[in-house]
A and B are shown apart, each in its own frame.
Chain A
């Protein structure tokens, strides 16, 4: 049943993305609003999938690569649903959809090819659960910052080229995008810091590679946020950094 929840959720995100692209091409902003509700519907099925997997394992369902990808997608969607409107970035959802769709599709294929099955913990370590869930929530925030960064670069290019394309009128102002990137990076860094602090209390110390990889991700984002607050990074550079850092964070996931 859990597979079906994931498939339905993925299909909803695909439909949401396609609908949003069509409505953007037609300039029907009203239909972009529908995207929010589709994201909410997809989120419900994500929750159902994660609940089933959680019950299967008897712990937070991040025991294999596929589950980790779904958990990151869940974090992206929950942050979009919670913050998208507050950041005046309803289109963030539209741009998030392809990422969520691709990640979940990989998860579906991966689980279909080889589902490792239940992996109950030998002993349940709440600090380990906290470390993992907070870190992956941070990945969600960084994922959204990366998407906002892409949106910023697209809009910036259109403004600089003096030839506004079709997306120009639908994309939000670059100020809102750069503000959103900063806030999302801060949120992500707070979450990952909590995750790392939790790691110090874990019953079993993490492997050195794991420690180095998560430490590197934390350090990169911490430095970006620190420099931003001390010196102010140009929004264009900040966008590039948000994209680059997220790509790096994704690469480290394979290690983690």
Chain B
């Protein structure tokens, strides 16, 4: 009896293929039942996300199971034999692959945590549908342990990987929780919208939108559940906001040092974070010289994002060492060692950053 994994991901298949193989959440139970009906396959877990479709399982003959699984996918989805390059992993390789996926090493955004929750959900669905037994239970429990180990013992999550994420991370390094933060958007462009939404996702609430075209300001304000103001009025609101995102199409600076100096006393020691994502720049460089004011332009944010990506890439090897160390210590043999009477119960209570709290005893 051995475990296996078959799948495609964003590195091996374009979106045109992935979308054809994608398994809708509702259809998963039916597929799980059918997959377990395939000859040697005893257990199965289906992981279907935007970036990957993977099937994990255990079978008396994993080589045979993988062949039959490919036939099954060709029969049930709009793909042809030879059209898709599935990766196939068996035994320790399959476990290693799942551990890397759970750790975010196989993700499009290196080290992201969403995949951890997706694996938990996939496993829970399989469990609820009776598609898992001791091997899959053990394997997935171990993957949760490894995912947490990697995240708490390496810097794989450290640093931002996009301009939007860099802006949000900086805001959090200035204000802590963004719950009470008020945001003003100058220029209702796409980048402003995306950045404001990122801030909103972390708790920023009150959003003011100011644009030369008031209609556009109103449109964006409505989308962000904020308030639109005339472009001439933004100065009157500057002292009330904590974060300014500027991306107007103006050919010259819109926010000058004098504008900020005028209002900084009214802020009574509260910091002001200015994000200038416009080219040409909207905010004078000298604004950053003012105490308690932090100005970042698009290049500076991009540099932080690039640096974040590099930092995370440097961590890949360390993460792999953690995974291989775990596999050496616990070993794939452990999957066979667990007696039926000690079947694992899943632990869905903790997130990936919760530390080394789940053991696989």
Interface residues of A (CB under 8 A from B): 26-30, 88, 155, 159-160, 162, 164, 168-169, 171-176, 178, 231-238
**Which A residues touch B174, using CB under 8 A?**
159, 173-175
- Closest residue of chain A to B264 (Cβ to Cβ) is A234
Q: A176–B176 contact, CB under 8 A? A: yes
- Closest residue of chain A to B268 (Cβ to Cβ) is A232
**Which B residues touch A27, using CB under 8 A?**
154-155, 158
Pick from B158, B269, B288: contact of A178, CB under 8 Å: B269
Q: B173–A168 contact, CB under 8 A? A: yes
Number of A-B residue pairs at CB separation under 8 A: 60
**Which B residues touch A231, using CB under 8 A?**
268
CA distance A167 to B173 in the complex (A): 12
**Which B residues touch A164, using CB under 8 A?**
304, 307
Q: A236–B153 contact, CB under 8 A? A: no
Q: B294–A159 contact, CB under 8 A? A: yes
**Which B residues touch A232, using CB under 8 A?**
268-269
**Which A residues touch B170, using CB under 8 A?**
159
| Minimum CB–CB distance for B248 against chain A, Å | 22
**Which A residues touch B304, using CB under 8 A?**
162, 164
Interface size for B (C-beta < 8 A) is 26
Q: A162–B296 contact, CB under 8 A? A: yes
Provide a sorted-by-A list of 8 A–B residue pairs whose CB atoms are within 8 angstroms. A26-B155, A27-B154, A28-B152, A30-B153, A30-B355, A169-B155, A173-B174, A175-B175
| Minimum CB–CB distance for B209 against chain A, Å | 25
**Which A residues touch B159, using CB under 8 A?**
169
| Minimum CB–CB distance for A99 against chain B, Å | 24
- 1/0 per residue, CB under 8 A from A, across B60-85: the answer is 00000000000000000000000000
- 1/0 per residue, CB under 8 A from A, across B260-274: the answer is 000000001101000
| Minimum CB–CB distance for B282 against chain A, Å | 17
CA distance A234 to B296 in the complex (A): 20
Q: B152–A173 contact, CB under 8 A? A: no
- Closest residue of chain B to A176 (Cβ to Cβ) is B176
**Which B residues touch A26, using CB under 8 A?**
155
Within 8 A of A (CB), among B294-316: 294, 296, 300, 303-304, 307
CA distance A233 to B270 in the complex (A): 10
Q: B176–A159 contact, CB under 8 A? A: no
Within 8 A of A (CB), among B152-174: 152-155, 158-159, 170, 172-174
Q: B292–A28 contact, CB under 8 A? A: no
Apart from A175-B174, A232-B269, A238-B269: 7 A-B pairs, beta carbons within 8 A? A26-B155, A27-B154, A159-B294, A171-B173, A173-B174, A175-B175, A234-B292
Q: A160–B271 contact, CB under 8 A? A: no
Within 8 A of A (CB), among B312-361: 355-356
CA distance A250 to B113 in the complex (A): 47
**Which A residues touch B152, using CB under 8 A?**
28-30
| Minimum CB–CB distance for A54 against chain B, Å | 39
Report if A236-B292 is in contact (Cβ < 8 Å); known contacts: A30-B152, A155-B173, A174-B271.
yes
Report if A235-B300 is in contact (Cβ < 8 Å); known contacts: A159-B173, A160-B288.
no
**Which A residues touch B172, using CB under 8 A?**
173
CA distance A176 to B356 in the complex (A): 27
**Which B residues touch A169, using CB under 8 A?**
155, 158-159
- Closest residue of chain A to B307 (Cβ to Cβ) is A164
Q: A175–B268 contact, CB under 8 A? A: no
Most chain-B CB neighbours within 10 Å: which of A234, A237, A238? Answer: A234
**Which B residues touch A174, using CB under 8 A?**
173-174, 271
Q: A235–B269 contact, CB under 8 A? A: yes
CA distance A201 to B144 in the complex (A): 63
- Closest residue of chain A to B318 (Cβ to Cβ) is A26
CA distance A173 to B154 in the complex (A): 21
